[in-house]
Amino acid sequence: MKPSDTSERELERLIVRHLAGISEHSPAPTDTLGPAAVYESGGYVLGRASDFNRDVALDIAQLLAFLQATQPNAVEALELAHEGIKRTQFLHRLQGEITKRGVVDVLRKGASHGPVTVDLYKLLPTPGNANAAEAFDRNIFSVTRQVRYSNDSGNELDLVIFINGLPVLTFELKNSLTKQTVADAIVQYETTRNPQELLFQPGRCVAHLAVDDAEVYFCTELKGKTSWFLPFNQGWNSGAGNPLNPKGLKTDYLWKRVLTKQSLANIIESFAQIVVEEETDVATNRKKKKRKPVFPRFHQLHTVRALLRLVSKDGVGKRYLIQHSAGSGKSNTIAWLAHQLVEFRTSGDPTAPLFDSIIVITDRRALDSQIARTIKAYDHVASIFGHSDNAQELRDYLRRGRKIIVTTVQKFPFILDELGDLSSRKFALLIDEAHSSQGGKTTAKMHEALSGKSEEEAFEEDATQDTVNVEIEKRIRSRRMLSNASYFAFTATPKNKTLELFGERIVIGNDVRFRAPEELTYTTKQAIQEGFILDVIAHYTTVDSFYHVAKTVEDDPDFDKARALKKIRHYVESHDKAIRSKTEIMVDHFLAQVIGARKIGGKARAMIVCNGISRAIEYWRQVSSYLEQIKSPFKAIVAYSGEFETKTEANLNDFPSKDIPDKFRQDPYRFLIVANKFVTGFDEPLLHTMYVDKKLAGVQAVQTLSRLNRAHPQKHDTFVLDFADNAEAVKAAFQDYYRATIQIGETDANKLHDLKADLDGKQVYSWQQVEELVTLYLSGSERDRLDPILDSCVEEYKANLNENSQVEFKGKAKTFVRSYGFLAAILSYGHFTWEKLSIFLNFLIPKLPAPEEQDLSKGVLESIDMDSYRVEARAALKMTMDDTDAAVEPAPWEGGNGKSEPEIDTLSNILKTFNDLFGNIKWKDADRIAKVIAEEIPVSVAQDKAYLNAQANSDRQNAKLEHDKALNRVMLELLSDYTELFKQYSDNPSFRRDLTNMMFDLTYHKSHSHEARGSKQMRGHI
């Protein structure tokens, strides 16, 4: 009995046998132009290595067989039937077209030669199209073993797949049973496959695959040792890898599902492409175009196909939630889905597309343009594509029936009044970041634009019906999810409302749960493990701030403790000394640990995230100043929206706002300083380090820090330095989206009845007033008829409700409006009373004054001064996530619950609390150390001859260098007598920085008052 063959060659045979039905050739055929032999199993032809022409990188036999079978007139006209100069000229012409356009474009569009345009591929048929199906079957999909690809070496590829003689995929196979893995296959591609060889040049093949019995990796462009191989695995346990396969190898999905003729054809037609990107040449500062091959990752391919299967089964009118990690390529997934939905037909009706228009909706302008560019890369959809830059364009595209429209959700309200009836049309709505794009009044307007009957038709339908009730019914209908639209909601961070609105509803016993279906979930865990994104909290360091704030008034006034502490913290963190200190830490760290370590090949960038525009501008000034002071070649960019104190970001940066992303990729710019701008929707793979001086939590924390996670071939880690003590909140935020996010429980619509009863009970309004205002508003009455009703309610609110009751009423009113807006979209019934109260409260809430409250912390900042400030980095944290799905609860119903009583305390106690929060160095002999620092060290440093000479004859920068040397000499002299002090100086960077800066202030062109002030500050520091 012969034992099993577990060699690499047997893996090769196994794949080929499945695709072609055989793995070895019978005797060679005599007629290379005869009909191709198509075997059972996968329907591939088994090619011959000898038929591969290395000069043109084509399988000549399969190419000529396809042309003879499908276009005999072209074969005759071009004289291809026999070897000779005519055939050679055609082959070289075809080879040149592939070099110029890429194999995908040549397969899709063919090639012209002389008087003939030659088709090189027959498209997949639509359902029920027998002629197209017959034409597609004439394509020759072939697989060839041991292909010698070079005239200069005897190296061979394990497998190459061709379509009609054009190579599309190459393979290197390994076998773990012979102690080689996919990693060895990657090394083989990187070290022994010369990218200059014709077969390996960009665009010549769709992808190069490294395969073993456990994993699959792919690369779209070989670049030697810098080739970027990415996993093409199914995923396992919400992470990387492949699941156990009881019926075969873990990787047989590749040849059994992905490489079937229909599947590979679909990839060629609808996924693979060459994207042309503009880049700026750093040396010349000129824009240049770069052709970038694109191949779908497994989760992208799987997601698009899963959605198409669901649509085929469900028809129009369903909702689908796709939870895909930030940085997982959502924009490409959306673009590929949109493109394939355009002409999507079902077997039930193969004569017409299922959708009239595909509308891609985003609230991010950058992604709006990015998706538009990706879709437009498919030339054959250019004539049916519309990218709406304004409301007028959107209006025109909808009226003219453009098939694909990319827009932002904010544009929909402006077209409502001019749109006719679109209820007979069918739409696919692809929503990016559904948690923010799908909400409230804007979505209701969007639904109104795309759904039911126009206002005029509604009135004509039943003239006897009360016109106000008709309008109420129309508004209720517009809030509901459209029956003439399918929703595809993409998000990396699904909130509870998003889960309930778009997610899959699962009933387990008495429990109801909502989540994205497993087949539509690509987790952060998997994306990190697969290397598609980086783990941004793997290298996370927090910074402790140490302050000493002193009382500057004789008496000891009382203040609201909580508010006073908050004001003092903001005062200290915004103080010039604090900003400068943190600036120096950031810049020094970046230059030494990021640039000095050659992160991303020396091209790394940093972002400084600030709390507000004023602080961002101050950081920009301090960073710019410090970079200039230390003679660094780098510069900083500040980014914020609008105008601040008459200054725009363009005024400060000296270039237009729209150029910021492009400039940031160019030298000398290495720091991007932001408040709220660019913390979402900004994809820059060169961004490596983030300095955070702002409180972050929840979705905002995930979105902000995820700016760092974009992958780059030379990017192996990221770094976060956190000055705002966010670590605990950041970990909790990322945990919610590390694996699947699942809502446990369902929103109870009856809570709206309870809320309404609570609001009615406060007697701020009467129901007669609600009815009157709604009737006036919906019948188009003048504004001055609405305000008297609202103003009388405001007077009741102020006169009859105490401060706590006012807070409670206003909070519950907002909760009612928010909750009704959500529930109205998913409830199967409408409720006139809720709709009327929602209209009324939307007008009333803005008029309700905030409860009058006395600021019991007023004046605290005028009573204090900052004596000292320093920061100290803690040990780096390795934050690891729990390997579990996150459970979230339905949206809360709580409104305002009154106002808590302030805790009043004396200023001295408040300052003691504040200073105690941040601690300080615990000196064993604080008084003795303070005396040395305040008196002995500055005298010794000031008397240093080299330093004195520098002050007399050099600029401030050179004097600072000599000062630092002098201080080092003085500290060495103190080593034996003041070991504790020297240890802090040598081991504590923040203390050394503070001491150095203070000594320079004391000794550089000093005066008596300067020295006295500095001594006081140093004593405060101790």
What is the pTM for the complete model shown? Answer: 0.80
How large is the average pLDDT for residues 48-54? 95
Note whether 301-504 and 537-744 share their fold.
yes
User: Is it the case that residue 450 has pLDDT exceeding 70?
Assistant: no
pLDDT at 33: 44
More confident residue, 832 or 242: 242
Q: In angstroms, rounded to a whole number, what is the distance separating the alpha carbons of residues 672 and 660?
A: 9
pLDDT at 214: 96
For 82, phi and psi rounded to 5 degrees? Answer: -130, 150
**Residue 52 confidence (pLDDT) above 80:** yes
- Beta carbons within 10 angstroms of residue 147's beta carbon: 24
Cβ count near 142 (within 10 Å): 27
Integer Cα distance of 712 and 684 in angstroms: 9
**Whole-number pLDDT of residue 179:** 87
- DSSP string spanning 685-708? TTEEEEEEES---HHHHHHHHGGG
Extended beta strands in 409-531, E state = 427-432, 485-491, 504-508, 511-515, 521-522
Query: 565 near 916, Cβ under 8 Å?
Result: no
**Is the pLDDT higher at 634 or at 395?**
634
Q: What is the DSSP string of 256-305?
A: IIITSHHHHHHHHHHT-EEEEEEEE-TTT--EEEEEEEE---HHHHHHHH
- 600 pLDDT exceeds 90? yes
For 540, residues 6+ apart whose C-beta sits below 8 A from its C-beta are 720, 722, 727, 730, 876, 877, 878, 879
Mean pLDDT across the stretch 925-932? 69
In whole angstroms, how large is the CA radius of gyration of the chain? 35
Highest-confidence segment of 68-82, 346-360, 954-968? 68-82
pLDDT band at 868 (very low <50, low <70, confident <90, very high): low
Half-sphere exposure of 924 (CA within 13 A, CB side): 6
435 pLDDT more than 70: no
CA dist 43 and 36 (Å) reads: 11
pLDDT of residue 461: 39
pLDDT at 1020: 38
> Residue 836 — very low, low, confident or very high, per pLDDT cuts 50/70/90?
very high
Which residue has tokens 């061979």? 156
Query: Is residue 94 scored above 70 in pLDDT?
Result: yes
Name the residue among 628, 585, 580, 630 with its Cα closest to residue 606. Answer: 585
Higher pLDDT, 948 or 218: 218
Among all chains, which residue has been given the structure tokens 């022409």? 53
Better-scored residue on pLDDT, 639 or 894: 639
Q: Is the pLDDT of residue 507 over 70?
A: yes
Is the pLDDT reported for residue 384 higher than 80? no
Calculate mean pLDDT across residues 677-694: 91
Q: Which two tokens stand for residue 632?
A: 């660094």
User: Hey, CA dihedral for 912, 914, 916, 919, is it positive or negative?
Assistant: negative
Per-residue confidence (pLDDT) for residue 593, from 0 to 100: 92
Identify the weakest region by mean pLDDT among 32-41, 397-406, 555-564, 669-678: 32-41
User: Which residue pairs, CB below 8 angstroms and at least 24 apart, start in 777-786?
Assistant: 777/839, 777/843, 778/467, 778/468, 778/471, 778/472, 778/839, 779/467, 779/468, 786/843
Pairing type for strands 904-906 and 540-551 reads: unpaired
Portion of the chain with pLDDT greater than 70, in percent: 80
Band of residue 419 on the pLDDT scale cut at 50, 70, 90: very low
- Dihedrals phi, psi of 927, to nearest 5 degrees: -65, -45
* Band (576; pLDDT cuts 50, 70, 90): confident
pLDDT tens for 209-236 read 999 999 999 999 999 999 999 999 999 9
Whether 355 and 256 have beta carbons less than 8 Å apart is answered as no
**pLDDT of res. 1007:** 36
Q: Where are the domains of the chain?
A: 8-270, 301-504, 537-744, 750-847, 926-1021
Q: Is the pLDDT of residue 207 over 50?
A: yes
Sequence-separated contacts (24+) of 417-420 with Cβ below 8 Å: 419/395, 419/449, 419/454, 420/454
Give me the residues paired with residue 236 across strands.
239
Cα–Cα distance measured from residue 71 to residue 120, given in angstroms and rounded to the nearest whole number: 10
Q: What is the dihedral of CA 780, 782, 788, 790, to 10 degrees?
A: 40
pLDDT at residue 602 greater than cutoff 60: yes
- Which of 748-757, 823-832, 927-936 ranks highest by mean pLDDT? 748-757
The confidence score (pLDDT) of residue 465 equals 36
Q: What is the mean pLDDT of residues 792-803?
A: 92
Q: What is the mean pLDDT of the chain?
A: 83
Q: Taking residues 101-113, report their average pLDDT.
A: 94
The yes-or-no verdict on residue 895 having pLDDT over 90 is: no
- Please compute the mean of the pLDDT values over residues 1003-1015 and round it to a whole number: 48
**Tell me: the pLDDT tens digits for 316-333?**
999 999 999 988 888 889
- pLDDT higher than 50, residue 417: no
Q: Give me the count of residues in the chain.
A: 1022
Those residues whose C-beta lies under 8 Å from the C-beta of residue 248, and which sit 6 or more positions away, are 256
Q: Tell me what pLDDT residue 31 has.
A: 43
pLDDT-above-90 percentage for the chain? 49
Distance CA 794, CA 454 (A): 35
910 in Cβ contact with 559 (< 8 Å): yes
Residue 882: Cβ-neighbour burial (10 angstroms; 0-12, 13-18, 19+): exposed
pLDDT of residue 717: 94
Between 3-7, 878-882, 983-987, the lowest mean confidence (pLDDT) is in 3-7
Q: Which CATH class for the 301-504 domain?
A: alpha beta
Confidence of residue 104 (pLDDT cuts 50, 70, 90): very high
Q: 804 or 454: whose pLDDT is higher?
A: 804
pLDDT at 455 over 50: no
pLDDT at 324: 94
Q: Which of 358, 283, 370 is nearest to 330 (CA)?
A: 370
Helices 945-953, 956-973: axis angle to 10 degrees equals 170
Rounded to an integer, the average pLDDT of 556-571 is 73
The answer to whether residue 30 scores a pLDDT higher than 60 is no
Distances (CA, A) of 968 to 788, 875, 986: 76, 26, 10
Query: Would you give the distance in Å from CA 33 to the centre of its chain?
Result: 52
pLDDT of residue 409: 64
Grade residue 441 by pLDDT with cuts at 50, 70 and 90.
low
* Least confident piece of the model among 382-386, 633-637, 662-666: 382-386
Q: Who's near 996: CB < 8 A, 6+ residues apart?
A: 963, 964, 967
At residue 34 the predicted structure's pLDDT band, cuts being 50, 70 and 90, is very low
Greater pLDDT, 16 or 547: 16
User: Which CATH architecture group holds 537-744?
Assistant: 3-Layer(aba) Sandwich (3.40)
Do the strands 141-148 and 156-163 form a parallel or antiparallel pair, or are they unpaired? antiparallel
The Cα–Cα gap between 160 and 208 comes to 9
- Ranking 15-24, 563-572, 672-681 by mean pLDDT, the lowest is 563-572
pLDDT bucket at 399, cuts 50 / 70 / 90: low
Buried b (16+ CB within 10 A) or exposed e, 173-188: bbbeeeebbbebbbbb
* Tens-digit pLDDT profile for residues 139-178: 999 999 999 999 888 889 999 999 999 999 999 999 988 8
